[in-house]
Amino acid sequence: MSVSAAAVRTLPSGLAERLALAADLFAEHGLEATRVDEVARITGIPRATLYYYFPGKEHILAHLLSSTLDDMAERIETAAAVPGTGRERLERVLREHLAFIASHGATYRLLFAELGRAASLVDIARGVDRAIRAPLRAVLQAGVDDGSLHVLDVHAAASVVHGAVLVSGLEQLLAPSDRTTDRTDAILQVVFEGLGKERVDRRAAEDDHGH
């Protein structure tokens, strides 16, 4: 039951807009619990028309998630492209990522809720890698190359940073803390400085750039 986000017919731009209104619906109830009739009602697009453009409910969701991912990919790439050291670029990317989570909260949450699914929504899984993981690895590698970041394992670091920002960002959404304080700085502080009092030398031998 692998689902591609590509619509069978090209979707008129008018419909694409109205379809976005259904994002909250999916986000709140999840894929299966969202009724196609509700999607039709909210968007004003007749049920028969939905099935004219999409093979099924899953594909409607896939389309929504996919375009959200495109948005994000663009913003992240833009942030990553601003010149600077790897470290500076990483910080921009992370701030952009946090901001994106904050603004697209519901959809973003759904992205990861439905993501784990074994075989379905395969495009989405790839999209996440393209939109977040790949740019992250790129700036991390840049930081290694220009010596502005302390990274021993780019892949592991990308996972850690991704998870840190993702979970922190989602938590800010779920727990609307009374304080309006933005925790972005606090989050980045941990990511950049780590929790240890000082650096361990466990892997010092692998540190071969002479700086």
Partner DNA sequence: TCTATAGTTGGACGCATCGTCCAGATTCAT
Partner DNA sequence: ATGAATCTGGACGATGCGTCCAACTATAGA
- Interface with DNA (CB under 7 A): 9, 12, 34-37, 45-49, 51-53, 55-58
DSSP letter string, 9-64: SPPPHHHHHHHGGGHHHHHHH-TTTS-HHHHHHHH---HHHHHHH-SSHHHHHHHH
75 binds a copy of itself (CB under 8 A): no
- 42 and 100 in contact (C-beta within 8 Å)? no
Q: Which of 37, 126, 156, 207 binds a copy of itself (CB under 8 A)?
A: 156
76 binds a copy of itself (CB under 8 A): no
Q: Measure the CA–CA gap between 189 and 208, rounded to whole angstroms.
A: 26
- 104 and 114 in contact (C-beta within 8 Å)? no
148 binds a copy of itself (CB under 8 A): yes
- Cβ distance to DNA smaller for residue 39 or 142: 39
**Cβ neighbours for 108, distance < 8 A, ≥ 6 positions apart:** 68, 100, 101, 169, 170
Q: Which does 48 bind (CB under 5 to 8 A by kind): DNA, a copy of itself, none?
A: DNA
Query: Which one, of 102, 200, 15, lies nearest residue 7 by Cα?
Result: 15
Q: Which listed range, 7-15, 24-32, 62-70, 76-84, lies at the site for a copy of itself (CB under 8 A)?
A: 24-32
Q: Which does 204 bind (CB under 5 to 8 A by kind): a copy of itself, DNA, none?
A: none
- 67 and 16 in contact (C-beta within 8 Å)? yes
Q: Which of 116, 178, 180, 210 binds a copy of itself (CB under 8 A)?
A: 116
Q: Give the interface with a copy of itself as residue ranges (CB under 8 A).
A: 28-33, 87, 90, 109-110, 112-118, 140, 143, 147-153, 155-157, 159-168, 170-171, 174, 183, 185-187, 189-197, 199-200, 202-203
